A and B are shown apart, each in its own frame.
Chain A
């Protein structure tokens, strides 16, 4: 017997007891208890009649290195991450959208260097790209760009690279992220070091902002 069926039987029994009390018991306090039991039993039965969905914790998504043979594979994985684990599409649109709370990412892969995109994802408050300054009526629900490599999203470096590959491909750019870049920890560290983008300050469209305070975890 399933859990729902068992609970339904219990709910019906509770209602039945309530009905019996109301029909045959004269004591007013007990009648009130019977009435409350009927109400609660009915509530449970109604709740059991709607779709029963439990919220299960998500499986930990892993980056399947073996499946990546070409930059296009990387972009394909990046697209999945963009619309799922990365939660990018919750705020960003690809193309104009009035309801989007954050900048339109159409063509972003062509506009920005991958190194800068990487830093925007991992240190979002380090520099603000002035082209994304919002004009007009201020948005009531401004979303603050989260650190994408930290909880609750927590993308790995490889996953971030794949998202960058997707953004480049979507913008019609050749994918500059190489498959080798994501292959191993040693390369990963090297790549991360090379992405420190020391030369970013030379780009005129960047504005330095205050460093964010650290998150205490």
Chain B
């Protein structure tokens, strides 16, 4: 019983000490690696302003928008037609099959 109690205390201690040990490990190893790694440029804290203050003019190609819109029209309508046609074909097949079975039965 006493041994179990000690074992539990040991596991709990390791569990609680693990983050502290890991942090200590990182802080000791980082200086050894740092000189060989290239220095990363510091990221700005928020949005980065354009140097000189002149905003780059944003342009959207009208051709792309028109082509996308018209493609959507035709895809949408043909998609619906294909969906309906496939469903109709499947139902027609069902009708034929069921009618044949019923005729055979009668």
A binds B: no
